[in-house]
C-alpha cells in the first residue's frame, strides 16, 4: 500500500535461502490491483527494517549447513526509492533473477554429482568382497558408468548456459534445461553412489547419504522439475500451459 513517499508492506514468505544471514532482502510485493503479474513490484529492503522478522527453518532433510528462513513483514515501510525498476515491473526482475538462479542450481548439482562419482569410485576400489575389489564386478561398473555419464551431460548443459551469458544471448530456456537435467541427475548420481556403498552408504560415516539429502531439494527450488518442463514446452510451442 502506498503511503506518501513510502510503501507499507505486509505478508510472509517461507523457504528464504540465507534468510537469517542476509543484510538485504530482494522483495516482490503487489503494489496495485492490476491482475496477474503486472501488479507486482520489486524492492530492496534492509533485513533490519522495523517490522521485518526472520525465523530460522529447522529440521530440513538436507542442506543443513545453509540458513533457510521464514520472513514476516508487518507494516514494513519501504521508500519508493528502494523500488527496482518501474512500478508493476517486478515480474521481469524476478524472471531475470530466476534464470540466473537456475544456472547456479545446475552448477551446484554438477558439484554434487561429481562428489558422488568420486566417492563411489574411491570406495569401489577400496572395498573388497570375495577376495577382490567390488570395482571388478560388472554391475558396480554399470552404476559408476551411469553416474559418470550424468555428470558429464549435466556439466555440458551448464557450460552451454554460461557461454550464452558470456555472449550476451538469451539463456532462459537453456537455464531451465540445464536445471531440469542437472537436478534430476544429481539425485540419480547420489542414489547410485549409495547403491555402490551398500549398507555403509546409509550411515553418516560416509558422505553419500548427505549428498542424496542435499540433491533432493535441487529438484524443488528455483522452480520444480515440473515447472522447468512447462517453461521448455512453452519455448518449443509458443503456447503457455500455465
Q: How far is the C-alpha of 97 from the C-alpha of 103, rounded, in Å?
A: 10
pLDDT at residue 96 greater than cutoff 80: no
pLDDT of residue 219: 96
pLDDT in tens, 2-58: 878 889 999 999 999 889 999 999 999 888 887 777 889 999 999 999 999 999 999
Q: How far is the C-alpha of 19 from the C-alpha of 47, rounded, in Å?
A: 9
pLDDT of residue 173: 95
Q: How far is the C-alpha of 196 from the C-alpha of 145, rounded, in Å?
A: 12
Give 173-191 as a DSSP string: HHHHHHHHHHHHHHHHHHH
Annotated active-site residue 87? The verdict is no
What is the CATH class of 2-88?
Answer: mainly beta
Nine-digit cell string for 35: 491482475
The residue written with cell numbers 527450488 in the block is 221
| Domain boundaries, given as residue ranges, for the chain | 2-88, 91-237
Q: Do domains 2-88 and 91-237 have the same CATH topology?
A: no
Q: Which of 142, 169, 205, 222 is catalytic?
A: 222
pLDDT in tens, 167-204: 999 999 999 999 999 999 999 999 999 999 999 999 99
User: H helices of the chain, where?
Assistant: 90-126, 138-166, 172-197, 208-216, 225-237
The model carries a pTM of 0.87
What is the CATH class of 91-237?
Answer: mainly alpha
pLDDT of residue 147: 98
Amino acid at each position: 500500500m502506498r503511503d506518501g513517499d513510502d510503501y507499507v508492506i505486509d505478508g510472509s514468505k517461507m523457504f528464504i535461502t540465507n534468510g537469517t544471514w542476509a543484510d538485504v532482502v530482494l522483495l516482490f510485493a503487489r503494489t496495485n490491483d492490476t491482475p496477474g503479474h503486472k501488479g507486482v513490484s520489486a524492492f530492496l529492503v534492509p533485513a533490519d527494517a522495523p517490522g521485518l522478522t526472520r525465523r530460522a527453518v529447522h529440521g530440513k532433510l538436507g542442506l543443513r549447513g545453509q540458513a533457510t528462513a521464514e520472513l514476516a513483514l508487518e507494516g514494513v515501510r519501504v521508500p519508493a526509492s528502494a523500488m527496482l525498476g518501474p512500478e508493476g515491473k517486478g515480474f521481469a526482475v524476478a524472471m531475470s533473477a530466476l534464470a540466473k538462479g537456475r544456472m547456479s542450481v545446475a552448477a551446484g548439482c554438477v558439484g554434487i554429482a561429481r562428489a558422488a562419482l568420486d566417492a563411489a569410485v574411491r570406495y569401489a576400489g577400496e572395498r573388497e568382497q570375495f577376495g577382490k575389489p567390488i570395482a571388478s564386478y560388472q554391475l558396480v561398473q554399470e552404476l559408476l558408468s551411469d553416474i559418470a555419464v550424468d555428470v558429464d551431460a549435466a556439466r555440458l548443459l551448464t557450460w552451454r548456459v554460461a557461454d550464452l551469458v558470456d555472449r550476451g544471448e538469451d539463456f532462459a530456456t537453456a537455464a531451465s534445461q540445464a536445471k531440469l537435467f542437472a537436478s534430476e541427475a544429481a539425485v540419480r548420481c547420489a542414489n547410485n553412489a549409495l547403491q555402490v556403498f551398500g549398507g555403509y552408504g546409509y550411515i553418516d560415516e560416509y558422505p553419500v547419504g548427505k549428498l542424496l539429502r542435499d540433491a533432493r531439494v535441487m529438484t524443488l527450488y528455483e522452480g520444480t522439475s515440473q515447472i522447468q518442463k512447462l517453461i521448455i514446452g512453452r519455448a518449443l510451442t509458443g503456447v503457455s500451459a500455465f
